Structure 1
Amino acid sequence: MAQEEITTNEDGTKRALSNRHVQLIAIGGTIGTGLFLGAGSTISKTGPSILIVYMILGAIFFLMMRAIGEMFYSDPTQHTFVSFITRYLGNGVGKFTGWTYWVGLVFVCMAEITAVATYVHYWLSNVPSWIIEVTFLVILTAVNLIAARLFGEAEFWFAMIKIVAIISMIAVGVYMAVTGFKTPFGQSSFTNISNGYSLFPKGVRGFISAFPMVFFAFQGIEFVSITIGEAKNPRSVIKKAVNETLFRILLFYIGALVVIMAIIPWHQLTANQSPFVQVFKLAGLPAAAAVINFVVLTSAASALNSCIFSAGRHFYQLATESEEGSFMRRHFAVISSTGVPAKAILISALLVFITPLMTMTHSLAAMFTIVTSISSDMYIIVYTLSMLAHRKYRQSTDFLPNGFKMPAYRFTSAITILAFAAIFISLFFIPGSQLPAIGAVLWTLAFGGYCVFEERGKTTVGI
């Protein structure tokens, strides 16, 4: 791409991401280890009805992205969707959401760098985890510091590897099912999906518990919106990214799950083995485990890359929204000569360097698991606040009647908010999920209350 094709925003960031970058970032950012490694667990707990769960939550996330997309279409200069929460729900709620989302992103980065070390150990079992973690973190931080375009290129190829792996498995699986390929489980056929079908094979609780599992599989789909501030032709890109990407993700997820259950009867799938490995092995690929390990390694590296990108932009946003003359504003609300918020990226990456300590003590690792779960639960609250911000946007003077409007928003917005509330409530009835859910509530009441009351105090003083 010629240099003159790259436009520069008023704050110094550069619109260097093309449509292909944004599309692949959106797809690749959501398709991760939850599919490659976790599909066996979700199917074993829910059976074929897992397809219903994916379709329902796919529709809910599509509606959420339409709401976020509509706000970005009205003002594509913003770097994060949190800026709209600040604008329409107030500085206090915006501060709470911004810090909560950023902390959550840092923990996601920590989880992904831990996963990277685990997958690399498949080949290099004698190399200490901390060396692997530091190496990958330095490389991907450097990728993010150099230019947004380099980040986009890295994500493009990371996503391509995952997509090729999924398409290959779907193609192989369809061939096996159509030809009636014989396996130790019997004859491959699409009828295996409906054979012995039950909506609740492990009880109603098993079916309900699938919703949070699938929710977390889709978590991160909003990453695409964070690229809009640095994309060329942002308004046309956001339309394509929102309208096309989710359908592609559903196609990959549902297509993969259908093929898996056609080859391996759903009641014989186990939670402790990747169904992708099983399908490729049954098809006669002895190196299936190594191939899938490489794919999930790139998947984790891709997620880490996206997290660093997103965390940097969110910290930069927090800095720009802080008080004039404050330490945050002076030191982190700056853009480097390469057009990226370098200092905000560095402070986010530096915190992730705590991760190697987690591998040294079991107690720290256990605490890390709990905190990561709490931060994941917080995303439900953040998503809900983005929907409430959209409702305020519709009532504001910023509303574009001819913009990229969320369809039937009064109805669809309410459904989306109620769905998020129902998923959060369900966490209190799922074993192992209660403690993180309680932690998320306490964080919201304590830190959220502090942010709102602090802002009210400033307003009172100003009056």
Structure 2
Amino acid sequence: MQEKITKNADGTIRSLSNRHVQMIAIGGTIGTGLFLGSGSTISKTGPSVMLVYLVLGCFFFLMMRAIGEMFYADPSQHTFVSFISKYLGPTAGYFTGWSYWLGLLFASMAELTAIATYFAFWFPNIPSWIVEVAFLVVLAAINLIAAKLFGEAEFWFAMIKIVAIVALIVTGIIMVFSHTSTPLGHASISNITNHFTLFPHGSFNFISAFPMVFFAFQGIEFVSITLGESKNPHKVVKKAVNETLWRIMIFYIGALAVIMAVIPWTSITPDKSPFVQVFTLAGLPAAAAIINFVVLTSAASSLNSIIFSAGRHFYQLATEGRKEGFMNRHFGKVSKNGIPSAAILISAALIFITPIMSVSNSVSSVFTIVAGSSSDMYIIVYLLTMVAHRKYRASNDFLSDGFKMPGYAITSPLTILFFFVIFASLFFIPGDVVGAIGAIIWSIVFCGLVYLKERNSKAYA
């Protein structure tokens, strides 16, 4: 049976246990934005931010069910992008693979920059580039040794985030039930309901919160990339995907509810971490240092996951190319320890560009524009994934008794429509317009170049 496989045909090893994958799934659900950026979304929308998280959480859960259904039918694939190649054709897969991989690289650069910033909290005199190089070397080494070591590192990174959120929720509940008095009033559920309105700062701020929360959830699909190297893929995929929604309910909506119960939402400002504020009000003087440690490990976890994911995606791109081609010969290989080492090394090497970004403001500005465009590309990738799922449903690969997406006839088109709406909303938010236009330009130029290449190759065939 497939669950008994310990080694894939390409040499990669199924060494990730259920414990690893489940914690990776939880860690992927919880982003750094919850600890630092939640103050911004609360200040914009008040208690109705919980509705935003719930709506987006439901659609991300449906997307994960679509991805999970395809992986359940074929757990040998290394990335969900491979299903786009399989069901929408090599051109769509090629476009998606390169777009997603480049998006991962820009995300990794942002995370590495964040790591240096958080590290400076304790050691401000150490140059940022030294911190960035040190973290990148260590995390790349973890990825190169064994998938199991990567899984173990992610297990403990995720555990730190979980402990911090559970501590916040427990602390907040105790303060609410004991009606703890703070400089801002009393901790109480009424802090959430007082002066409640769906659009406290206008409908525009409410609508603009959707893309903000969307990007907070971005990367939630990462757990699916571990399935190709997990020991029991059929068992693991069901648990990892099915628990996505309740994780969002507990870790995001639960944490936000507790924060607004302790701190009146009208007193929450975007420039301060609500986590630090709650722990400070609870009498924890080291709150800022503790949360800084949590976000440092969270950023390290994200970078660790990105290196793993980027390596697998580049490997996938290499193996889908011509067997005698440069990519396949140099990056479509697996090392003796079952790792696509060359693909990981080239991905990690390109991340070393990060220290150069601090040289001048112009470089940083260009990076911000390109990173925004690549981030917006994820919406297009998600859309193509959902379309690929529909093609899977119409193919001979469809398992009628498999891990099926619930209410497919309604939920599939609704999810696709929702992602279209999210992308369209970017054009009404000043800060996102450039990124959205950049994503469209990238799509048109890339697809045009691929089309010309294919046409020329046919002409000379």
Fold-level match, TM-score > 0.5? yes
Name the CA distance, whole Å, in 2 between partners of 1:380 and 1:8: 33
The separation in 2 between residues aligned to 1:70 and 1:461, in whole angstroms, is 40
Given that 1:93 and 1:452 are in contact with CA atoms closer than 8 Å, whether structure 2 keeps it comes out as no
- Structure 2 runs not aligned, ≥5 long: none
- State yes or no: 1:62 paired with 2:97: no
Cα 1:67–1:453 change in 2 (3 A) is farther
Provide the residue aligned with 1:285 in structure 2: 284
**2:104 is the counterpart of 1:100:** no
1:48-87 Cα shifts (integer Å, max 9, x gaps): 1100000000000000000000100110000000100001
Mapped partners of 2:104, 2:331: distance in 1? 17
Distance in 1 (CA, whole Å) between partners of 2:95 and 2:455 is 14
Partner of 1:227: 226
Counterparts of 1:50-89 in structure 2 under 5 Å?
A: 50-89=49-88
Letter in 1 for 2:399: L
The superposition leaves residues 132-163 of structure 1 with CA deviations (integer Å, 9 ceiling, x where unpaired) of: 00000000000000000000000000000000
Matched-pair contact (CA < 8 Å) for 2:15–2:231: yes
CA distance in 2, matches of 1:193, 1:22: 35
Encode CA deviations 1:245-289: one digit per residue, 9 max, x unaligned: 332133110010000000111111000000000000000000000
Q: Which residue matches 1:146? A: 145
* Superposed displacement of residue 33, structure 1: 1.3
Q: CA deviation at 1:455?
A: 3.9
How far the C-alpha of 1:306 sits from its partner, in A, is 0.2
Distance in structure 1 (CA, Å) of the matches to 2:151 and 2:92: 31
SS state of the match for residue 313, structure 1? helix
Distance 1:57 1:66, change over 3 A: same
Residues 459 and 175 of structure 1: is their aligned pair in 2 closer, same or farther, counting only changes over 3 Å?
farther
Which letter maps to 1:393? Y
Write the distance in 1 (CA, Å) between the matches of 2:125 and 2:296.
Answer: 17
- Corresponding pairs, count: 458
Q: CA deviation at 1:23?
A: 0.7
Identity over aligned residues, as a percent? Answer: 67
Partner of 1:348: 347
Give the equivalent residue in structure 1 for 2:178. 179
SS at match of 1:433: helix
Which residue is 1:365 aligned to?
Answer: 364
SS of 1:432 mapped into structure 2? helix
Per the alignment, residue 123 of structure 1 pairs with 122
Partner amino acid, structure 2, of 1:140: L
CA distance in 2, matches of 1:267, 1:377: 31
Measure the CA separation in 1 of the matches of 2:334 and 2:437.
38
Q: Distance in 2 between matches of 1:368 and 1:348?
A: 17
SS of aligned partner of 2:405: coil
C-alpha deviation, 1:454, in angstroms? 3.5
Partner of 2:389: 390
Task: Give the secondary structure class of the aligned counterpart of 2:220.
Answer: coil
Kept in 1, the 8 Å contact 2:99–2:377? The answer is: yes
- Tell me the equivalent position of 2:17: 18
1:281-329 CA-to-partner distances (Å, cap 9, x unmatched) read 0000000000000000000000000000000000000000011200000
Deviation of the 1:452 alpha carbon: 4.2
Cα deviations by residue, 1:173-232 (Å, 9 ceiling, x for unpaired) = 011011111111111101110100010111111000000000001100110000000001
Matched with 1:304 is 303
Aligned to 2:271, what secondary structure does the other structure show? coil
Q: How does 1:408-419 map to 2 (within 5 A)?
A: 408-419=407-418
Please list the CA deviations of residues 413-459 of structure 1 after superposition, one character each: whole Å capped at 9, or x if unmatched: 10000000000000000121111111011111111232245446556
Q: Is the 8 A contact 1:23 1:245 kept in 2?
A: no
Deviations 1:371-417 (A, max 9, x none): 11111100000000000000000001111111111112121110000
| Counterpart Cα distance in 1 of 2:453 and 2:177 | 64
Distance 1:93 1:455, change over 3 A: farther
User: Which runs of no fewer than 5 residues in structure 1 stay unpaired?
Assistant: none
Structure 2 counterpart of 1:187, which letter? H
What is the CA–CA distance in structure 2 between the aligned matches of 1:146 and 1:110, rounded to whole Å? Answer: 22
When the two structures are superposed, what TM-score results if normalisation uses the length of structure 1?
0.97
Maintained 8 Å contact 2:29/2:247 = no
Computed over aligned residues only, the root mean square deviation of the Cα atoms, in angstroms, reads 1.2
2:133 maps to 134
What is the rounded CA distance, in whole Å, between the counterparts of 1:411 and 1:452 in structure 2? Answer: 34
TM-score normalised to structure 2 length: 0.98
Distance of 1:84 and 1:457 partners within structure 2: 26
State the AA in 1 paired with 2:319.
T
Question: Does 2:263 correspond to 1:259?
Answer: no
- Aligned counterparts, 1:268-283, within 5 A: 268-283=267-282
Q: Which residue number corresponds to residue 200 of structure 1?
A: 199
**3-state SS in 1 of match to 2:76:** coil
Q: Is the 8 A contact 1:92 1:454 kept in 2?
A: no
Displacement over 3 Å in runs of 4+:
452-462
Matched, 1:378 2:377: yes
